[in-house]
Homo-oligomer: A and B are copies of this chain.
């Protein structure tokens, strides 16, 4: 039939652009270096700014670039390896974990998916501990830890405390229970407004959502929803720390 072109693949411009930029980043730019601004780059490649932005978005998603409004686009450092599953199973807040307590609410709402895991009904009181994970001054993750008041013996007394003091009390009580097991899920999400602020990103930024279920006394005693910056984090699971060391 004449024109049997093998692989007639009209590659989208932004895809090709991404490849070109990616190679340029490898060979011609150092980490932290500032790229030309979007209008200049677009002109240089002879495309509309929107098309150029499509390529930049992909590269940012892959952790190659970092863009900040009012500042510019810089070459991102390699992703940070973040240990998610501690070698020894332990409660959140146990000695030596990498989280910083921010506060504690009880009025906050519990997402339906979490309520299902906790087996709590709609109005049941739940302690919500807010925590944050930071490395080298840069925020990595935001967390909400949900603990049904029913599993904490002295919930009534704890309810009198406020802020961090209350959070520490909840964690302390939790630590006194026997931890029978835990399991996790990881999925892609987009940052809610609050998380985004805490993570120094815009709302909607891609995040890795780690949901950890803590089992004690034959029931789900707590659920932690940890929201990691997908652009800067590589989650590590493992028996040894070898991967983290190698990949650094």
Contacts and interface: CB of A to CB of B under 8 A. Distances in A.
B206 A188 contact: yes
A200 interface: no
Interface in A175-206: 181-190, 203-204, 206
Interface of A: 15, 18, 58, 61-63, 79, 81, 85, 113, 116-117, 181-190, 203-204, 206, 208, 213, 215, 230-231, 233-240, 242-243, 246-247
Nearest to A236: B185
A15 B240 CA distance: 41
A14 to B, nearest CB: 8
Contacts of A204: 15, 18, 58
List of 7 A-B pairs having minimum Cβ-Cβ separation, nearest first: A183-B238, A188-B230, A187-B234, A186-B235, A184-B237, A183-B243, A185-B236
A189 to B, nearest CB: 6
A181 B239 contact: yes
Given A15-B203, A15-B204, A204-B58, A235 B187 contact: yes
B61 A190 contact: yes
A210 B178 CA distance: 31
B185 A235 contact: yes
Contacts of A208: 186-188
A77 to B, nearest CB: 14
Nearest to A233: B187
Contacts of A203: 15
A71 to B, nearest CB: 19
Nearest to A61: B190
A182 B213 CA distance: 23
Contacts of A18: 204
A99 to B, nearest CB: 19
6 contacts: A58-B204, A62-B189, A63-B187, A183-B236, A186-B234, A206-B206
A243 B15 contact: no
A94 to B, nearest CB: 18
Contacts of A63: 187-188
A236 B185 CA distance: 4
Contacts of A186: 186, 208, 234-235, 237
Contacts of A239: 181-183
Nearest to A206: B188
A113 B239 CA distance: 20
